[in-house]
Amino acid sequence: MKTLQSVSQAALDFIYPWTCQLCGCTDEVSRGGATGNFCRDCQEQISPEILNSCDRCGAGLGPYASAPGGCVHCRSKPIRFDSLTCLGMYEDALRKAVLSAKWSFSSAGTASLADLLFSQRRAELRGYAADLVIPIPQSWQVRLRRRFNPASVIAAVLASGLHIRADEHILRRRRNTRPQKRVSVQRRFDNQKNSFRVCDGHVVDGRRVLLVDDVVTTGATCSEAARILKQHGAKCCEVAVLARVLDGR
């Protein structure tokens, strides 16, 4: 039986040879890391080792910088989530990978990045001891333009790795906010106020929540989601994203 399985796997590998999901190389020898979705070079570029990062907002810091109470990127911001973990900063190879995955016809690229996020940040994610994974929902305008919500795909992968449930129905968009890109960084927190509602509040009451999105910039969206979830009794809200944009303010 095992022989039959390996023969069929070999046949599948012959028809659909392994391909790096970022650069498209098919050299299986260079297949890297635990997930094997990217070649070794791409994986190192997508997720370079972060030696030191801010616990509060996930920003990469210099090797000797300490950031009690937040770093230069978040200290002045009214962030309501408890901490943030990410694959890396939104630049270079990670930015390219996130963008191409986000606008793809298939959710496979996003799932591969989520696999990598889980394998690279496994200890941290498990350490949160979350009971429930909740993705940030898309606005209806964005839903019309995209085939899938990257946050839901990432939430499903992380929930499966953590053996907990992902629920994409609890958190809903309440109203249409102005696109965050058109609002100044300082006003993004105000722009997000009351932008979510929670259905079935009892589901989050007393729970530890892992909030998930694909990219976080100022943190205003995740912060507002954390605020409303805590208002409904969530004990804590940690955030996991693929990439953190360093806005410098």
Kindly tell me which of 20 and 203 has the beta carbon lying closer to Zn ion: 20
User: Of the two residues 32 and 233, which places its CB atom closer to Zn ion in the complex?
Assistant: 32
Reduced DSSP (H G I as helix, E B as strand, rest coil) percent helix, strand, coil of the chain, to 5: 40, 15, 45
- How far is residue 24's CA from residue 18's CA, in Å, rounded to a whole number? 9
Least separation, in Å, of the C-beta of 61 and Zn ion? 8
Nearer to Zn ion, 236 or 246 (CB): 246
Distance of closest approach, residue 221 Cβ to Zn ion, in angstroms: 16
| Cβ nearer to Zn ion, comparing 97 with 125 | 97
Q: How far is the CB of 241 from Zn ion (least distance, A)?
A: 14
Q: Which helix (H) or strand (E) holds 112?
A: helix 108-120
Compute CA distances 242 → 4, 94, 112, 235, whole Å: 38, 8, 11, 24
Residue ranges in contact with Zn ion by CB under 5 A: 20, 22-23, 39, 42, 54, 56-57, 59, 70-71, 73-74
Asked whether the beta carbons of 240 and 154 are under 8 A apart, the reply is: yes
| Least distance in angstroms from the C-beta of 31 to Zn ion | 9
Give residue for tokens 């996003």: 110
